[in-house]
Amino acid sequence: MSPNNSIKKIILNVKSELKGIYPITEIDSFIYIIFENLLNYSRTQLIIDQERIIESKILEKINSIVSELKTCKPIQYIIGKTEFYNLLFFANAGVLIPRPETEELVQWVISENKNSFYKILDIGSGSGCISVSLAKNMPGSVVYATDISKDALELTRKNSKLNHVELQILQFDILKNTNSLNEKFDIIISNPPYVTEAEKEKMHRNVLEFEPHLALFVPDTDPLLFYRHIADFALTHLNKNGKIYLEINEQFGKDISKLLEEKKFREICIKKDLNGKDRMIKCLLT
């Protein structure tokens, strides 16, 4: 095999191919993800094994991944996997890629409720990252994962099996068939669509061209659409002293707080993410 197939040379080639498309720190992250997935390499091995010659089949796979990265396709969709809250998840283009901010939402729920058993509803489960993470870290609680999309629910099912947790998985549209779910819950959690159409021009190509718009966007004329429906649903489907935890658009924290207050929820609390932006809100039904 050619010395051009050495790990050192491959890394240089990948950096050259992706230069100008991504920041160097992101390229370094891609390189680690590629070698971890194709060769089960750790970061340390990648540094130590620079002179190893890579077989042609693996090199072809690396080149294929790099070609897709050049189109700005998210690497999570390319390799079909992602990590969330220290767990591995299958990923595909039918669901959003889990974000670090959502990990913070999950951490908030776990930190406040870990020592009790609850009935929890995840509205808009997508990949199942929220519901699986809660079930994994709150054993004894019963977690319901719901989504409008059958494909998303199938991925949630796969991810629950991958992480060895049991979920109640149901198709459910919070905007329409709210009477179809007759259970009552202690906690309702959701990361609903909250990006306005007006914000599209600020978004990266990898999000706009590849992630599902149904899970991202709300009309400019009604940015609180999902929060209003979730709040109304919670009024009749939360147990006494039940809680709602929601991820929010940083622009609308005060508006969502006002909406919840008008619907008689109490102990409303807005929490900032690690970037200092209003990103989560919690309230209580008394």
pLDDT, one tens digit for every residue, the chain (286 residues): 345 789 999 999 999 999 999 999 999 999 999 999 999 999 999 999 999 999 999 999 999 999 999 999 999 999 999 999 999 999 999 999 999 999 999 999 999 998 889 999 999 999 999 999 999 999 999 999 999 999 999 999 999 999 999 999 999 999 987 777 889 999 999 999 888 877 877 777 778 778 778 777 788 888 999 999 999 999 999 999 999 999 999 999 999 999 999 999 999 999 999 999 999 999 999 8
94-285, what's its fold?
A: Rossmann fold (3.40.50)
Question: What CA–CA distance (Å, rounded) separates 98 from 252?
Answer: 21
pLDDT of 16: 96
Question: What CA–CA distance (Å, rounded) separates 272 from 279?
Answer: 5
Distances (CA, A) of 216 to 82, 199, 213, 273: 19, 11, 5, 19
pTM, rounded to two decimals: 0.92
Distances (CA, A) of 71 to 33, 59, 77, 199, 204: 18, 19, 12, 22, 12
pLDDT of 3: 52
pLDDT of 1: 38
pLDDT of 153: 98
